[in-house]
């Protein structure tokens, strides 16, 4: 019992005697707990393009499976929509300037590759035996 009381009183004393500059560092570390923000701009860009490529690939693959006649003529539009949305998110959402990243990587890495990859994955999953919708 006495140890617990001592520990509690020591914590109170530490809180009272804390310097103002320690408080600011504590709040800064709490704000920067998001590991994604601590990554380099190129890594954040790559992860964003993987996510957007996966989303557009899943949507494209699903429309291929459900509406094959419609999607055969417009499948490339999904690639362009995925590319435009990922570039817009990187520039506006993440606020990454063109000086921080390579422009060719901004336009061509990730989105096309992962969209096509998820189209193939969705098609392969659809070919598996089992109940259909």
Give tens-digit pLDDT for 77-127.
Answer: 777 777 777 778 877 777 777 777 777 666 666 667 777 777 777 777 777
Tell me which residue range forms the domain holding 23.
1-33
Q: pLDDT band for 131, please (50, 70, 90 cuts).
A: low
| 113 and 49 share one domain | yes
DSSP 39: S
| 6 and 43 share one domain | no
Computed on alpha carbons and rounded to an integer, the radius of gyration of the chain in Å comes to 25
| 43 and 26 share one domain | no
Structure-block tokens of residue 30: 């709490």
Contact 112, 57 (CB under 8 A): no
How many structural domains are present in the chain? 2
Average pLDDT over residues 54-76: 77
| 67 and 116 share one domain | yes
Contact 96, 90 (CB under 8 A): yes
pTM (2 d.p.): 0.56
Q: Name the average pLDDT for the chain.
A: 70
Rounded Cα distance between 43 and 48, Å, is 9
- Per-residue burial over 104-113, b if 16 or more Cβ lie within 10 Å, else e, is eebeebbbbe
| 42 and 106 share one domain | yes
């Amino acid at each position: 019992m006495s140890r617990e009381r001592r520990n509690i009183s020591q914590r109170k004393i530490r809180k009272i005697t804390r310097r103002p500059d320690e408080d600011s560092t504590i709040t800064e570390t709490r704000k920067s707990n998001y590991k994604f923000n601590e990554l380099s701009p190129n890594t954040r860009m790559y992860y964003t393009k993987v996510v957007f490529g996966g989303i557009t690939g899943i949507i494209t693959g699903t429309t291929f499976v459900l509406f094959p006649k419609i999607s055969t003529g417009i499948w490339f539009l999904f690639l362009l929509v995925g590319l435009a949305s990922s570039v817009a998110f990187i520039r506006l959402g993440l606020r990454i300037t063109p000086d921080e990243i390579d422009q060719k990587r901004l336009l061509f890495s990730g989105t096309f590759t992962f969209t096509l990859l998820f189209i193939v994955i969705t098609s392969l999953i659809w070919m598996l035996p089992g109940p259909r919708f």
